[in-house]
Amino acid sequence: MNLQAIRGRNQRGIAFLPEALDTDSDYAQLTFEGTHVLTSIKKNPKIPKSTIILDMKHYDSLGLSEGAKIQVQFIKADIPICTEITLQVLSDRLIESDRIVEVFSRKIEDLEPYLDGMILEEGRRYIIEDLGVSLISAKVTPKSRSLNAARVVWPRVLKVYLEAIKNPKRYNFYIIAESGASFEKDDIEYDSGFISRNRTTLNLIEKLLPEILQDLSFFGSLIFSEEFSEFSHDSSTDMDIKAVNEYTTWVQRTIADHSSKHSNPSLAIENGIRFASQFYEENHLPTYVLFISSGTYTQGVNPLPLVRNLLSSTENIFIGCIGVGNSIDDAILNEIAEIGQGIMINLTSTTQLDEVTKEIHLWVTKDV
């Protein structure tokens, strides 16, 4: 069944359901967009019909936003109470995980409000928003073998082992994507036919963002032809699943607005680097600009001198290029990538999308 989720407070791992709901289960699996958590459930006459009130830890771990509906599957199972827990600690802020482990180790009872009542499933990540950390339940003993999970009743917990996970590299990301008349050209191989460069750009973006989302700080983008449109979601913003969906919808709509116009990559690069520089000035994280283009221009000037000039006065800003189509100006795109210390890939078939996504992810996560 599907129910509308509301974010509650710290409910000791309990989800509250409408009294009229027909179930005698004590537990449920909550699923949203492929991610799930296990929860204890209780009925409450004050809960509105078709609604479920989630513990805030479950709500945050599922990546929910206001109005989201989740799938609720009731579980009939015997879930034992664990006596030993191994937790991996990951900082979601710019604090080293080993420092957080050190603090918790000195006063392990500080974890009680966040663990008591929870059903911990091995390998599952639980976001503790107010502490700025994620806890991954690496091992629980004893456990349900069918669910790979156990309940936490804090007075029954005898040992808690903490392991620090090295913080992933954090970075900013900015996409500059061409969408002029030349990007309506159908020269990208797809199954037994061809699709347009614009459609391929959208497919790449839809694949890429979920891959880089976890370690992403600020995100921005512009779509260009002879002019440009900027994606604005509170200007410089942390991306979440909701913002990703907003962005891909915006890309699809904006592509149509530019599809009959000339292309001016110099205008786009000048403004894209300027916006990306604002990200770096705010958080001093490495900032990656992905330039998706054919490299050709039917308006404006050669972008190479501009790129050299802009990057000579910037720090920790890198540019990579994805040349979309069979007829690209690879000389310009290769030179931009060399100046920007970035990758250069010519995308001519949708069969390349997975590999291109992987290459971009490797580029932005490598040490600089």
Name the residue with tokens 């790129």: 307
* Proportion of the chain above pLDDT 70, given as a percent: 96
State the pLDDT at residue 94. 59
| pLDDT, tens digit (0-9, with 9 covering 90-100), for 330-358 | 999 999 999 999 999 999 999 999 999 99
84-164 has CATH 3.10.330 classification: yes
Q: What is the dihedral of CA 154, 155, 158, 162, to 10 degrees?
A: 30
State the pLDDT at residue 235. 46
Q: CATH 3.10.330 in the chain: give the residue spans.
A: 84-164
> Tokens at residue 216, please?
């992403």
Mean pLDDT of the region 165-193: 89
| pLDDT, tens digit (0-9, with 9 covering 90-100), for 281-333 | 888 889 999 999 999 988 889 999 999 998 887 778 999 999 999 989 999 99
State the pLDDT at residue 319. 96
DSSP secondary structure, 51-74, as one string: EEEE-HHHHHHTT--TT-EEEEEE
| pLDDT, tens digit (0-9, with 9 covering 90-100), for 16-71 | 999 988 888 999 999 998 889 999 999 999 999 999 999 999 998 898 988 899 99
- The more confidently predicted of residues 142 and 90 is 142
Assign a CATH topology to domain 2-75: Barwin-like endoglucanases (2.40.40)
| pLDDT, tens digit (0-9, with 9 covering 90-100), for 2-20 | 999 999 999 999 999 999 8
State the pLDDT at residue 243. 80
Q: CATH 3.40.50.410 in the chain: give the residue spans.
A: 171-365
In this structure, are residues 176 and 290 in contact, taking their beta carbons and an 8 Å threshold? yes
Q: CATH 2.40.40.20 in the chain: give the residue spans.
A: 2-75
Average pLDDT, the chain: 90
What is the pLDDT confidence band of residue 167, given thresholds at 50, 70 and 90? low
Assign a CATH topology to domain 171-365: Rossmann fold (3.40.50)
State the pLDDT at residue 300. 86
151: pLDDT strictly greater than 90: yes
What is the pLDDT confidence band of residue 156, given thresholds at 50, 70 and 90? very high
Q: What is the dihedral of CA 299, 302, 306, 311, to 10 degrees?
A: 120
